[in-house]
A and B are shown apart, each in its own frame.
Chain A
């Protein structure tokens, strides 16, 4: 035993005698993770969260979350002697009088945008491959919670510097709170310590932004990861991959090196963006005052869809029995987002009810093999995209020579018409792809080589697929629709009534598939084909 080994052994012995870690480590160092690029998306989110913690901590050393009035004396000349809040002045101080401060601010903001984008693409991967199915429903809900909190956390961070843009954002948040029926006025007075903007809101959201929400994030992310660890990762179907196993690389050393390396890469890319691209140049916006505004005031992208919905809302407000209800704010600002996020959280249960599928799933779906779900996903995405586009309608209008009125009307109509259209088209595409798969399995790949048969007919040579490829294309289950039981054998009406009917309807839609090749079909073709 070399000296170095001896030291290592001593340390390991010391720790194990006090924690018994060896037996746990023995198992888990060999933990297997399947390798696929789409499995790295959640990791991007995780790593950007760590980057946010690191860069955010750096910023707290100088940021002064106070709305007390100060006169700016720092080195940015165009704002010299301007009256502003201490929050804004200290953000300017970080940007111009702390070396590396601007870089860290930009890294923090870019990391936040990447964090949210990574959460969204991770969510899309999980959705379209059906990774949320039993036993992973809890983790799906945790993910939705993280997404929701991420939007709130991001918005609070955007609001902290107290520049003209972030103040405008707070103004709109204030209006949303105030629009809540019955308690809205009181809630807004409590949140803002009186009339808008007051002097307490930024200190309050600061503590939520740097302590409360990050704490909740840490807890939720820990549970999220522990569940992934405990339930083992899902994997894409393929030869040798079954519901009972997981094929991949061991944690030590391959996955550790790759995942650890990827952390540095994500941090590096964020730093690169922070170095070369300006983000939120607060010194240009100027300090916030409620009487000023800039053209093209937008939220960050993850709130853009919400702003887009608010923009396209019809001008409806009711005044009944002496009370005012602003539907033009409530519907796009609270009700629709509420429905969207609740629906997302409940989706695993809704799907399992629709299909009657109560089995565990560890093999992922190819999106085309579940046309209904895929179409539903694209439909929701279309809805969000139309809303997001409308959220930037003024910028789009000036850059593409359109009018805001055109884009607004396009969005108002599009948000109703386009999602169902997207559903139908996506489902069609999925079924066509299934048909193509079936053709591939039965008749092989087209090679483009033409051969003349002895009697003069030309045929194209088809190359048979490998057994592995054929297996991958045919391994999926094609569940049959749930038969509607109107009455049981004794003539008793189904007590579920309309619910059973609905379920049968949905499950029939779900079961709409192109039948995959049967063993008989395959056998028949064998030998007789080129």
Chain B
């Protein structure tokens, strides 16, 4: 029982499962279309990757971002945003946006890993920008420090993402999303690229090691079990007040009614 609960309590469980499924799907596709040359780093392969990316871009992105990624009235230019931006925006499902709402939401990604890599290669080929990362490169478990990460998080992130990383409101309907269940590489890429309303946290301001500490703290907050009972969303006193007026006072008044009702 302890064994199962240990897995189930893991907030990463659902997103990880999803990721697993998607990766599997992606792999199946790539195996099925096995006519392509196997992955290599030589220039020829790179240029086919870029070409492939361009094809996807023209189909899925260019209507808003322009035929050459130069941007338009409704979408920013992608020249110089780098592969990191693409990996963050597309692999977390934020891009392509389905509706013109205040901001792009995290959702199931439209493109598989291969396609994201191709898109990233194409956008990176437009102008140099921050490169994309893999989860293996982000050695947060080894190099991060939770306590230091907590201080950095409270200083740089909590004002928008809330003290426990649950997210919070910004102006005019924009919001800072929850950082729970986000892949380490995406957290890292978000910090270096500043997606949407989020500012950029340059490496000289928050060093790469410090960024790993932040990720380590976020992962600790994510897996922290409920030490004092139901967490009530970890959004502070509002839900606590709501619970006291509904469940707390509701129960007490209910009991008072029973207590003063005549027995038969």
Binding site for B on A (CB under 8 A): 35-41, 44, 77-82, 95-96, 102, 106, 109-110, 113-114, 117-118, 121, 164-165, 258, 261-262, 265-266, 269-270, 273-281, 283-286, 291-301, 304, 392-395, 397-398, 401-406
Residues of B208-237 at the interface with A, using a CB-CB cut-off of 8 Å, are 217, 220-221, 224, 226-232, 234-237
Stretch of B22-30, B71-79, B126-134, B246-254 lying at the A interface: B246-254
- Measured between beta carbons, the chain B residues less than 8 angstroms from A300 are 237, 240-241
24 cross-chain CB contacts under 8 A: A37-B259, A38-B256, A82-B151, A96-B227, A118-B249, A261-B259, A265-B255, A266-B252, A278-B226, A278-B228, A279-B228, A279-B232, A280-B237, A280-B240, A284-B224, A284-B234, A285-B163, A286-B163, A301-B238, A301-B241, A397-B169, A403-B169, A404-B169, A405-B172
Whether B146 pairs with A286 at a CB distance below 8 angstroms is no
A94 to B147, CA, bound (A): 20
Binding site for A on B (CB under 8 A): 102, 146-147, 150-151, 154-155, 158-164, 167-169, 171-173, 175-176, 217, 220-221, 224, 226-232, 234-245, 247-249, 251-253, 255-257, 259-261
- Measured between beta carbons, the chain A residues less than 8 angstroms from B155 are 291-292
Whether A165 pairs with B241 at a CB distance below 8 angstroms is no
- Measured between beta carbons, the chain A residues less than 8 angstroms from B238 are 296, 298, 301, 304, 392, 395
Query: What is the CB-to-nearest-CB distance from A233 to chain B, in angstroms, rounded to a whole number?
Result: 13
Whether A113 pairs with B230 at a CB distance below 8 angstroms is no
Among B221, B245, B257, contact of A284 (Cβ-Cβ < 8 Å): B221
Whether A286 pairs with B230 at a CB distance below 8 angstroms is no
- Measured between beta carbons, the chain B residues less than 8 angstroms from A285 are 163
Report which residue of B173, B220, B221, B261 has the largest number of chain A beta carbons within 10 angstroms of its beta carbon: B173
Query: What is the CB-to-nearest-CB distance from A259 to chain B, in angstroms, rounded to a whole number?
Result: 9
Among B175, B221, B232, B244, contact of A398 (Cβ-Cβ < 8 Å): B175
Whether A404 pairs with B256 at a CB distance below 8 angstroms is no
Query: What is the CB-to-nearest-CB distance from B91 to chain A, in angstroms, rounded to a whole number?
Result: 24
A291 to B162, CA, bound (A): 15
- Measured between beta carbons, the chain B residues less than 8 angstroms from A293 are 158-159
Q: Find the A residue at minimum CB distance from B155.
A: A292
Whether A40 pairs with B221 at a CB distance below 8 angstroms is no
Query: What is the CB-to-nearest-CB distance from A409 to chain B, in angstroms, rounded to a whole number?
Result: 12
A106 to B235, CA, bound (A): 16
- Since A40-B260, A121-B253, A296-B169 are in contact, a sample of 16 more A-B pairs with Cβ atoms closer than 8 Å, ordered by chain A residue number, is A40-B256, A40-B259, A41-B256, A77-B220, A78-B224, A110-B244, A114-B244, A117-B245, A165-B163, A277-B243, A281-B164, A295-B159, A301-B240, A304-B237, A395-B238, A403-B102
A405 to B161, CA, bound (A): 19
Whether A117 pairs with B249 at a CB distance below 8 angstroms is yes
Query: What is the CB-to-nearest-CB distance from A113 to chain B, in angstroms, rounded to a whole number?
Result: 4
Query: What is the CB-to-nearest-CB distance from B118 to chain A, in angstroms, rounded to a whole number?
Result: 34
- Measured between beta carbons, the chain B residues less than 8 angstroms from A398 are 167-169, 175
Whether A275 pairs with B229 at a CB distance below 8 angstroms is yes
Whether B163 pairs with A164 at a CB distance below 8 angstroms is yes
Instruction: Give the 3 A-B CB pairs with smallest separation, nearest first.
Output: A295-B168, A301-B241, A403-B173
A39 to B243, CA, bound (A): 23
A37 to B251, CA, bound (A): 13
Number of A-B contacts (CB under 8 A): 204
- Measured between beta carbons, the chain B residues less than 8 angstroms from A270 are 248
Query: What is the CB-to-nearest-CB distance from B29 to chain A, in angstroms, rounded to a whole number?
Result: 35
Whether B229 pairs with A106 at a CB distance below 8 angstroms is yes
Whether B247 pairs with A273 at a CB distance below 8 angstroms is yes
A406 to B174, CA, bound (A): 12
Whether B217 pairs with A78 at a CB distance below 8 angstroms is yes
A406 to B164, CA, bound (A): 26
Whether B158 pairs with A292 at a CB distance below 8 angstroms is yes
Query: What is the CB-to-nearest-CB distance from B128 to chain A, in angstroms, rounded to a whole number?
Result: 34
A397 to B261, CA, bound (A): 41
Report which residue of B175, B248, B259 has the largest number of chain A beta carbons within 10 angstroms of its beta carbon: B248
A397 to B151, CA, bound (A): 27
Query: What is the CB-to-nearest-CB distance from B106 to chain A, in angstroms, rounded to a whole number?
Result: 14
- Measured between beta carbons, the chain B residues less than 8 angstroms from A77 are 146-147, 220
Query: What is the CB-to-nearest-CB distance from A212 to chain B, in angstroms, rounded to a whole number?
Result: 25
Whether B160 pairs with A295 at a CB distance below 8 angstroms is yes
Whether B171 pairs with A404 at a CB distance below 8 angstroms is yes
Among A96, A278, A296, A405, contact of B230 (Cβ-Cβ < 8 Å): A278
Among A80, A114, A281, contact of B249 (Cβ-Cβ < 8 Å): A114
A81 to B230, CA, bound (A): 28
Among A40, A113, A276, A403, contact of B240 (Cβ-Cβ < 8 Å): A113
Contacts A82-B150, A292-B158, A300-B240 given; indicate if A394 touches B168 (C-beta within 8 A).
yes
Query: What is the CB-to-nearest-CB distance from A263 to chain B, in angstroms, rounded to a whole number?
Result: 12
Among B146, B169, B176, contact of A78 (Cβ-Cβ < 8 Å): B146
- Measured between beta carbons, the chain A residues less than 8 angstroms from B236 are 165, 294, 296-298, 395
Whether B162 pairs with A296 at a CB distance below 8 angstroms is yes
Whether B164 pairs with A269 at a CB distance below 8 angstroms is no
A286 to B162, CA, bound (A): 12
Q: Find the A residue at minimum CB distance from B146.
A: A78
Whether B244 pairs with A113 at a CB distance below 8 angstroms is yes
Whether A78 pairs with B147 at a CB distance below 8 angstroms is yes
Whether A296 pairs with B146 at a CB distance below 8 angstroms is no
- Measured between beta carbons, the chain B residues less than 8 angstroms from A265 are 252, 255, 259
Query: What is the CB-to-nearest-CB distance from B167 to chain A, in angstroms, rounded to a whole number?
Result: 6
A258 to B263, CA, bound (A): 13
Whether B217 pairs with A113 at a CB distance below 8 angstroms is no
Whether A286 pairs with B175 at a CB distance below 8 angstroms is no
Query: What is the CB-to-nearest-CB distance from A333 to chain B, in angstroms, rounded to a whole number?
Result: 18
Q: Find the A residue at minimum CB distance from B162.
A: A295
- Measured between beta carbons, the chain A residues less than 8 angstroms from B241 are 113, 300-301, 304
Query: What is the CB-to-nearest-CB distance from A351 to chain B, in angstroms, rounded to a whole number?
Result: 27
Whether A37 pairs with B150 at a CB distance below 8 angstroms is no
- Measured between beta carbons, the chain B residues less than 8 angstroms from A405 are 171-173
Q: Find the A residue at minimum CB distance from B175.
A: A398
Q: Find the B residue at minimum CB distance from A288.
A: B154
A299 to B251, CA, bound (A): 24
Whether A286 pairs with B151 at a CB distance below 8 angstroms is yes
Q: Find the B residue at minimum CB distance from A299.
A: B237
Query: What is the CB-to-nearest-CB distance from A129 to chain B, in angstroms, rounded to a whole number?
Result: 15
Query: What is the CB-to-nearest-CB distance from A150 to chain B, in angstroms, rounded to a whole number?
Result: 14
- Measured between beta carbons, the chain A residues less than 8 angstroms from B242 are 301
Whether B229 pairs with A164 at a CB distance below 8 angstroms is no
A36 to B257, CA, bound (A): 8
- Measured between beta carbons, the chain B residues less than 8 angstroms from A121 are 249, 253
A455 to B131, CA, bound (A): 94
Whether A269 pairs with B251 at a CB distance below 8 angstroms is yes
Whether A44 pairs with B252 at a CB distance below 8 angstroms is yes
A304 to B162, CA, bound (A): 18
- Measured between beta carbons, the chain A residues less than 8 angstroms from B227 are 95-96, 102, 278, 281, 283
- Measured between beta carbons, the chain A residues less than 8 angstroms from B164 are 281, 284
